[in-house]
Structure 1
Amino acid sequence: MSNIKDSFELDDYESDANENDDICSNSRCKLVTEKEINRKDDSYILHLSSTSDASCNIIIGTSNNSCEIFRLGENQLAKLETIENFEHPIIGVRFSPESNDLVYIGTSLGNIQLWDLRTPQKFAIEFSEVSSDKPSDVAKTLICFDVSSNNRLLSAGTELYKGEAFILFWDIRNKSLMGAYWESHTDDVTQVVFDPNDVDKLMSGSVDGLINVFDVKQTNEDDALIDSLNTESSVEQLLWYNNKGKDFIGCITHTVDLQLWSPDDAELYAHFRRCDITHAMKRKSEAHCYVASCHRLLGNELLFLAGSNWNEGEHLKCIFTNNKKIEPFCALKENRQRVRCSVFNQHHNLLMTGGEQGILSVWDVNMTL
Structure 2
Amino acid sequence: MADIIDNEEIDRDTVEPEALEQHFRKKYKLLTECAVTLKKSYINKLHATKSLKLAVSLSDNSIEVYQLNNTSLTKICKLSGHDKTLTEVVCDPKEDHLLYSAAQDGLVKLWDTRASGSCVQEYKDEEEELVKPYECMDISCNGRVLCAGSQLVEDDAYLVFWDNRVTKPLGGYWNSHTDDITQVKFHKSQTEILATGSLDGLINIFNVMELSEDDALTYSLNVENSVEKLSWLDEKQVACITQSNDLQFWDTESGDLLRTFTRDKISRSIKRSKADDCYLVDTYTSIDDTTVVLAGSYGGNGHVLRSAAAAAGGRLQPAAHFPANRQTVSCCHYDKDRDMLVTAGEAAIISVWIGSEAAENETTFGKISQSMNKLHMNRHKPY
TM-score, normalised with respect to structure 1: 0.90
The reply on whether 1:256 has 2:255 as its aligned counterpart is: no
Specify the alignment match of 1:292 in structure 2: 281
Q: CA RMSD in A?
A: 1.9
- Show structure 2 runs of 5+ residues with no match: 1-8, 359-383
One of 192, 208, 221 as aligned partner of 2:184: 192
Identify if the C-alpha distance between structure 1 residues 130 and 320 changes in structure 2 by more than 3 Å, giving closer, same or farther: farther
The reply on whether 1:14 has 2:11 as its aligned counterpart is: yes
One of 341, 352, 355 as aligned partner of 1:362: 352
Between 297-306 and 19-28, the greater mean CA deviation after superposition:
19-28
The reply on whether 1:170 has 2:184 as its aligned counterpart is: no
One of 223, 230, 251 as aligned partner of 1:238: 230
Preserved contact between residue 130 and residue 139 of structure 1 (Cα < 8 Å): no
1:107 shift after superposition = 1.6
Specify the alignment match of 1:45 in structure 2: 43
The reply on whether 1:336 has 2:336 as its aligned counterpart is: no
1:121 shift after superposition = 4.7
1:144 shift after superposition = 0.2
Question: What CA distance in whole angstroms lies between the structure 1 residues aligned with 2:344 and 2:224?
Answer: 29
Specify the alignment match of 1:140 in structure 2: 132
Identify if the C-alpha distance between structure 1 residues 13 and 310 changes in structure 2 by more than 3 Å, giving closer, same or farther: closer
Preserved contact between residue 111 and residue 117 of structure 2 (Cα < 8 Å): no
Specify the alignment match of 1:313 in structure 2: 302
Question: What CA distance in whole angstroms lies between the structure 2 residues aligned with 1:288 and 1:49?
Answer: 26
Residues 305-352 of structure 1, C-alpha deviations (whole Å, 9 max, x = no match) = 110001221111021212322111111100111101110111111111
The count of residues paired between Structure 1 and Structure 2 equals 347
1:13 shift after superposition = 6.0
1:24 shift after superposition = 4.2
One of 93, 114, 117 as aligned partner of 1:118: 114
1:22 shift after superposition = 2.3
1:160 shift after superposition = 0.5
> Secondary structure, in 3 states, of the residue corresponding to 1:144?
strand
Over the matched positions of the two proteins, sequence identity in percent amounts to 33
Of the two structures, which has the highest relative contact order with CA contacts closer than 8 Å and spacing of 6 or more?
1
Preserved contact between residue 11 and residue 277 of structure 2 (Cα < 8 Å): no
AA matched with 2:68 = L
Preserved contact between residue 287 and residue 339 of structure 2 (Cα < 8 Å): no
Question: What CA distance in whole angstroms lies between the structure 2 residues aligned with 1:98 and 1:34?
Answer: 26
1:87 shift after superposition = 1.8
Specify the alignment match of 1:3 in structure 2: none
TM-score, normalised with respect to structure 2: 0.86
Identify if the C-alpha distance between structure 1 residues 27 and 286 changes in structure 2 by more than 3 Å, giving closer, same or farther: closer
- Which structure: greater helix fraction? 2
Residues 40-78 of structure 1, C-alpha deviations (whole Å, 9 max, x = no match) = 3x110001111113xx21111000111111111121111
> Secondary structure, in 3 states, of the residue corresponding to 1:279?
helix
1:264 shift after superposition = 2.3
> Secondary structure, in 3 states, of the residue corresponding to 2:200?
coil
- Show structure 1 runs of 5+ residues with no match: 1-11
Question: What CA distance in whole angstroms lies between the structure 2 residues aligned with 1:366 and 1:291?
Answer: 23
Question: What CA distance in whole angstroms lies between the structure 2 residues aligned with 1:48 and 1:121?
Answer: 17
Identify if the C-alpha distance between structure 1 residues 196 and 215 changes in structure 2 by more than 3 Å, giving closer, same or farther: same
Question: What CA distance in whole angstroms lies between the structure 1 residues aligned with 2:24 and 2:242?
Answer: 28
> Secondary structure, in 3 states, of the residue corresponding to 1:313?
coil
